[in-house]
Every structure is written in C-alpha cells, then in structure tokens.
C-alpha cells in the first residue's frame, strides 16, 4: 500500500445536541466513504460539541455521549473506514477529553488529551483531567469491554500507522505527535477546537506544516466549526491535510454546512524519508515509552480515482515568484562556492569552454556573478569557443555574442585540424562517425582548456549538469573533467529556468536576446556534422530521451528510492497528457540501464557545490559501486 486516501471533516453542530451532531457526523462519514477515503478525522469533542462548559459535569450529557458513540458504531459497522471522533470519557472520578478511534463497529482505542489549556479564554482544567502520563491502560465502556486507553496507541494497518493528539497538544514545546512518530506513526490526526483570531490561521497552518516535516509524517487537522457557541469566541472549522512539510489540502474557513476535504497520502515517500534519515532513527533510542500497537485491516485500499497531483517537473517550482526566489538562491550558492575556491587557490582568472549551449551558458553566467562578487575584472574570464565538425552557425554566433556582450576575454581555437591529426595517429577513419569520432573531439577540447588554464594561471570551470551525470552523457576524461564544476547538482529542466531568469531579470537587451535564442536551440553536443542546410543533426533528446522524463525518473529514484513500477505509475499520472505508457517505459528502461552502467564516471567527479536535495557526488549523496548490475531494478 503506497498510497491511502484520507479526509478531514467539520460537521454542523449544536451545543449539547448529541443526536443532531451524530446525524451530521454520519453524513460526513458517508461522504468520505463515497469518495473512497479510508480515514476521517473530526473536531475535538464533536459528539457533544466543544463549548458545553460546566454542562460537561452533568451525568446526563456524559451518558448521552456514550449512547451517541454506541449508535455511531452501529451505523458504521459495515463501513471500511477508520474514524476518529471527539467525546468525553469518565474513568473513575476523572473526566478526560478524548479521541475515540472507531472501526467496523468497535472502539479500537481511546487517546486522551495530554495538555489542557487553562489560560486566556480557555478553562479546560475546570472540567477535564490531563492524560499526559496514561499508557497501556485497559478500560471498560458501558457498551464495550477491554478498550485500550492511553497516549501511546498506534493503530496499524499495513504501511499505514495512525495516531492522534488533541488541539493544545500540538502547541506545546514537544508535542505528543513527536513521540508518536518515533513510535512508528506516519499519519497523525489532530482533533481540535482552535478559536479564530486575526492571523491565527496562518500561525496554525505553519505549525501543522512544520510538525509534519519534523515528524516526516502526514498531519490531518480538523477544528470545530462556526456553529459552536460564540459567547466570547468563534471557531472557523479550519481543515488541513499536510504531508512532510507540504500542505496538500486546505478548506475555506467559516463554512456553515457539513464539510469534508480529501487528499491522497504517499506512505512510501514518508517511510523512505524516515529510512534514509539517520537522525530520525537515532532519536528513537531516547524513547522511554513503548508503543501499544493495535492492528486492524482494511478490506480494500485501492484508490478508484487517483487525483493526487504529481508534479512533472519536481525540481522546478511551479509558482513564478517561488521559482524566481529559487533561481536567485541557486545563483548565490553557485557563485559563493566558486568564490571560495578561487580565493583558496589564490587565482583571479577562470577558463571556460563556451559552445552556445545551455550548460556552458549557465556556467558562464555563474562565473560572471562570482567575479562581480569578488571585484575581479570580466576580462579575467577567458572564454574559449572551439568549433568542430558539428558546430553550427547558430550556436557559434550565440557563443561569440554572449562572451563579447559580457565583456569576457574571448578566444577561438578550431579543433578540426587537431582532431584529424589525432584520427591519423590512432588509425581511425574520419568518415566513421562512431563514439571514437565523437570522443576525440570532446577530449581535445578538454585538453585545450586544461592546458590553457595552466598557461594563464586560471581555474578551469566544468559545465556538465546533473541530468547528464545521471545518464553518463559525457566523455570520460573529456567534458567529464575540470578543476571545479558549478552545475553538477542542477538538472537540465532547472538549467533552462536559471538561464531564463537571467534573460528576464538581469540582462541587457542584447544578452537577453541571445540567452532566449540559446534556450530555443535543441540540446546537442554537436559532435556530428550538420545537415546540408547547417542545422543540428545530433539532438540529445532523440538519442537518450526527453530530459523532462529523465529528471522525473532521477528525482523519484534518488529522493525516495522508488522502484521501476512506482516510477512508471507516477510518470503515467504526471505525463498523461504528454506521453503514452510505451514511450515512458522505453525511456525509463534506458534511464535505469544508463544510470547503472555509467556510475564509473560519477566515481571520478571533480568538486562542485551541492545545490538542491539531490546530488550524485561520490563524496555526498551517492556511494554506489561502479559494477552493480541493473537487472533487479529493470
């Protein structure tokens, strides 16, 4: 079970009117079932309503609440959904504010509220007893015996591990959900009655998002609605579903009707994040309380209508403002890293090969930013264009224009004669356009750049990106090598946006025009001769596949350790309007094969900054044997 559909609900209520409340709770449950949800969270004390005040001390209300729970169990005994409702519990002489967890006509367990607010407009200690230290207790209800009661309950159904806290529990220094997550819970429900004040909703939302990130969990929040008593306070019925720091779904507050929101939770992602995060695992050893695991089983967790949004470009923020902020930050990381290396080596010159392609363009933009940062003259950036057998007028002209407009030291070294001589030296027919034909050119260019950097006392800057490293789309000891690389953790899909960001925000008109034309040029190493009209023949994406697919594959393979089957499922959903299954599968197989077979190149990478959450450096994120077989993954 990789995915599960969950829901958060706010029913209409009347204070102390349990029959009315129950009718609306059942209506929300039926909506959730009809929408294929397997889990639903209701607000705090929703059976009675939260604002009963001293009426909580009346036995009539308590007994009626028990009858309401019993009635709810009878009405939902044939429904395949886990239900969490809020109601009081009288145990001994103490009254507790609790989450009742129901499944198929049975109370699986009851979790008391750990922390009771008793300040400002809250007076909960007047009626309730805190449940902070209650663990492993078994109690009897009027309608069911031997019910687990405590703050350490985990309700387990396969990969889904549910647990709960109540309202104020989230607002304390160390919320119970932090411990519950370490105990194994990956879906936390919060039954809440949080009143509305100006700007409080934003704080609440950030709190929930941050807690889900800290716990590497899903966090499902339901708060009491507008029909609660408004003697001095108003509730808004705020509903939120979060997953590992992201808000997946949020309602519009102040709704006056029954409301249920839904989202699909990625359990695989949550569990893989926890498996990789050693700090999360290390924290488990400090737990002093063991979980009480209550197992149950859903009849069917199949999601009939998979409507979770799958981002086809996971490396690139879809929001323009956020994307621009990300681009600015990436440039700062790249420039600051390069500045450190230049200062450390005592060099004030940089050498870079410029092809008129995307990667070398981005590298040049980074170098320019770095030199401005350090106060070095632009003439100390030595840009080398090295036309070869496949260089087209378009890329050649763009390379020259860009370097001149940026004020760099532009030099041209044609490699055709040197390559032909080398073909002769090694006995290779120049008319055989094979891998030797291509790699001779790539290595000749790298040799020129290395030697020129030595001659000028400069640092040779590498230009290759993350996508090329993943596919091994570089020549070993050719463009694969440099003295320092600035793009090694930036995927091709993001390279485009970085170049566009400069074109639209930080360029003169001529530079912007050139950058936009570079963006419009097909990606190519230009190692094979152009056609009779001078157009590019060797298009990278025709050979290895679309970079947007490979970046998608790479993200899910590295970020979550996803299997081929899972990546295929996600890709079919993300690219359903762009590629058919046969095409996706073809390039997915190509990605896996190349990722494994080309590891030897990544094992010998030059230094370069880690920019995002994924890097393939052997000194960082990927320690992988160069001789591993891809068969099990294919």
User: Is 475 annotated among the ligand-binding residues?
Assistant: yes
DSSP letters, 87-156, are EEEEETTEEEEEEEEEETTEEEEEEE-S----STT--GGGT----TT--SEEEEETTEEEEEESS-EEEE
Does residue 528 have a pLDDT over 80? no
Q: Which DSSP helix (H) or strand (E) runs through 484?
A: strand 484-485
Q: How far apart are alpha carbons 260 and 242 in whole angstroms?
A: 15
Q: Which DSSP helix (H) or strand (E) runs through 349?
A: none
Q: Which DSSP helix (H) or strand (E) runs through 287?
A: none
pLDDT in tens, 63-87: 999 999 999 999 999 999 999 999 9
Fold of 3-295: Nitrilase/N-carbamoyl-D-aminoacid amidohydrolase (3.60.110)
Q: What is the DSSP letter of 302?
A: -
How many residues comprise the chain? Answer: 634
CATH class of 320-537: alpha beta
Mean pLDDT, the chain, rounded, equals 95
Whether the CB-CB separation of 152 and 263 falls below 8 Å is answered with no
User: Is 474 annotated among the ligand-binding residues?
Assistant: yes
Q: Map 304-334 to HEC letters.
A: CCCCCCCCCCCCCCCCHHHHHHHHHHHHHHH
User: Is 119 annotated among the ligand-binding residues?
Assistant: yes
Whether the CB-CB separation of 410 and 437 falls below 8 Å is answered with no
For residue 523, what pLDDT is reported?
Answer: 79
* Banded pLDDT at 456 (limits 50, 70, 90): very high
Instruction: Give the catalytic positions in this structure.
Output: 44, 113, 167
The strand pair at 292-295 and 259-266 is best described as unpaired
Q: How far apart are alpha carbons 569 and 266 in whole angstroms?
A: 13
User: Is 194 annotated among the ligand-binding residues?
Assistant: yes
Of the candidates 334, 393, 345, which has an alpha carbon nearest to the alpha carbon of residue 368?
Answer: 334
Q: What is the DSSP letter of 195?
A: B
Burial 127-158, CB ≥16 within 10 A → b, else e = bbbbbeebbebebebeeeeebbbbbbbbbbbe
User: Is 173 annotated among the ligand-binding residues?
Assistant: no
* Banded pLDDT at 536 (limits 50, 70, 90): low
Place of tokens 């105990």: 183
Does residue 312 have a pLDDT over 80? yes
* Banded pLDDT at 217 (limits 50, 70, 90): very high
Whether the CB-CB separation of 368 and 378 falls below 8 Å is answered with yes
Q: List beta partners, residue 161.
A: 156
User: Is 246 annotated among the ligand-binding residues?
Assistant: no
Q: How far apart are alpha carbons 292 and 246 in whole angstroms?
A: 29
Helix (H, G, I), strand (E, B) or coil at 430: coil
- Rounded to 5°, the CA angle 130-135-137 comes to 105
The strand pair at 350-353 and 381-385 is best described as parallel
94-100, long-range: CB < 8 A, 24+ apart: 94/129, 95/56, 95/57, 95/62, 95/127, 95/128, 95/129, 96/128, 96/129, 96/131, 97/44, 97/45, 97/124, 97/128, 97/166, 98/131, 98/166, 99/164, 99/166, 99/189, 99/191, 100/69
pLDDT in tens, 11-39: 999 999 999 999 999 999 999 999 999 99
Does residue 428 have a pLDDT over 70? yes
User: Is 249 annotated among the ligand-binding residues?
Assistant: no
HSE (CB half, 13 Å, CA atoms) of 153? Answer: 32
Q: What is the DSSP letter of 501?
A: H
User: Is 601 annotated among the ligand-binding residues?
Assistant: yes
**What tokens does 188 get?**
């936390």
Query: Domain map of the chain by residue range?
Result: 3-295, 320-537
pLDDT in tens, 316-331: 998 999 999 999 999 9
pTM to 2 decimal places: 0.91
Q: What is the mean pLDDT of residues 257-283?
A: 94
pLDDT in tens, 587-629: 999 999 999 999 999 999 999 999 988 999 999 889 999 999 9
For residue 387, what pLDDT is reported?
Answer: 94
For residue 121, what pLDDT is reported?
Answer: 86
Q: What is the DSSP letter of 379?
A: G
Other C-beta atoms closer than 10 Å to the C-beta of 338 total 26
pLDDT in tens, 133-170: 999 999 999 999 999 999 999 999 999 999 999 999 99
Comparing 83-92, 185-194, 366-375, 521-530, which segment has the lowest mean pLDDT? 521-530
Whether the CB-CB separation of 442 and 478 falls below 8 Å is answered with yes
* Banded pLDDT at 537 (limits 50, 70, 90): low
Q: What is the mean pLDDT of residues 414-424?
A: 96
Helix (H, G, I), strand (E, B) or coil at 487: coil
pLDDT in tens, 396-412: 999 999 999 999 999 99
């Amino acid at each position: 079970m990789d995915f599960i559909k969950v829901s958060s609900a706010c029913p209409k209520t009347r204070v102390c009117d349990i029959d009315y409340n129950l009718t609306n709770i059942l209506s929300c449950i039926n909506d959730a079932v009809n929408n294929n949800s397997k889990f639903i969270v209701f607000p705090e004390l929703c059976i009675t309503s939260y604002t009963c005040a001293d009426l909580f001390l009346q036995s009539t209300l308590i007994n009626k609440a028990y009858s309401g729970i019993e009635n709810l169990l009878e009405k939902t005994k044939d429904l395949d959904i886990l239900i969490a409702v809020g109601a009081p519990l009288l145990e001994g002489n103490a009254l507790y504010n609790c989450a009742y967890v129901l499944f198929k006509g049975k109370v699986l367990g009851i979790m008391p509220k750990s922390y009771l607010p008793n300040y400002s407009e809250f007076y909960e200690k007047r009626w309730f007893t805190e449940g902070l230290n209650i663990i492993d207790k078994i109690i009897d209800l009027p309608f069911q015996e031997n019910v687990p009661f405590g703050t350490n309950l985990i309700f387990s159904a396969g990969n889904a591990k549910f647990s709960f806290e109540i309202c104020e529990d989230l607002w304390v220094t160390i919320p119970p959900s932090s411990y519950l997550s370490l105990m194994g819970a990956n879906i936390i429900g919060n039954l809440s009655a949080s009143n509305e004040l100006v700007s409080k909703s934003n704080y609440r939302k950030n709190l929930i998002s941050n807690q889900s990130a800290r716990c590497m969990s899903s966090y499902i929040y339901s708060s009491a609605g507008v029909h609660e008593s408004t003697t001095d306070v108003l509730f808004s019925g705020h509903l939120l579903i979060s997953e590992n720091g992201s808000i997946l779904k949020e309602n519009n507050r102040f709704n006056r009707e029954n409301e249920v929101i839904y989202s699909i939770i990625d359990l695989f992602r949550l569990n893989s994040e926890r498996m990789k995060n050693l700090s999360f695992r290390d924290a488990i050893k400090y737990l002093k309380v063991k979980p009480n695991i209550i197992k149950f089983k859903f009849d069917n967790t199949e999601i009939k209508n998979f409507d979770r949004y799958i981002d086809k470009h996971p490396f690139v923020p879809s929001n323009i403002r956020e994307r621009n902020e990300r681009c600015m930050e990436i440039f700062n990381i790249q420039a600051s890293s390069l500045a450190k290396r230049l200062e450390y080596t005592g060099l004030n010159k940089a050498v870079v090969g410029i092809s008129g392609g995307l990667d070398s363009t981005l590298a040049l933009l980074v170098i320019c930013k770095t030199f401005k940062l350090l106060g070095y003259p632009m003439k100390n950036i030595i840009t080398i264009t090295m036309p070869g057998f496949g260089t087209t007028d378009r890329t050649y002209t763009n390379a020259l224009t860009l370097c001149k407009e940026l004020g760099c030291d532009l030099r041209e070294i044609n490699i055709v004669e040197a390559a032909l001589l080398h073909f002769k030296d090694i006995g290779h027919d120049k008319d055989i356009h094979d891998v030797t034909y291509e790699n001779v050119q790539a290595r000749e260019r790298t040799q020129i750049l290395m030697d020129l950097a030595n001659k000028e006392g400069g640092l040779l800057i590498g230009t290759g990106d993350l996508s090329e490293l993943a596919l091994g789309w570089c020549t070993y000891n050719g463009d694969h090598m440099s003295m320092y690389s600035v793009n090694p953790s930036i995927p091709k899909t993001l390279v485009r946006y970085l170049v566009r960001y400069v074109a639209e925000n930080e360029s003169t008109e001529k530079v912007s025009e050139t950058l936009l034309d570079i963006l419009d040029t097909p990606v190519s190493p230009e190692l094979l001769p152009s056609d009779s009209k001078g157009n590019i023949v060797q298009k990278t994406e025709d050979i290895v596949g679309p970079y947007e697919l490979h970046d998608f594959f790479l993200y899910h393979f590295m970020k979550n350790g996803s299997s081929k089957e899972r990546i295929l499922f996600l890709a079919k959903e993300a690219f359903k309007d762009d590629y058919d299954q046969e095409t996706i599968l073809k390039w997915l197989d190509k990605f896996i094969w190349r990722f494994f077979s080309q590891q030897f190149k990544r094992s010998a990478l030059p230094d370069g900054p880690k920019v995002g959450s994924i890097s393939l450096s052997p000194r960082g994120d990927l320690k992988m044997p160069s001789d591993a077989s891809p068969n099990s993954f294919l």
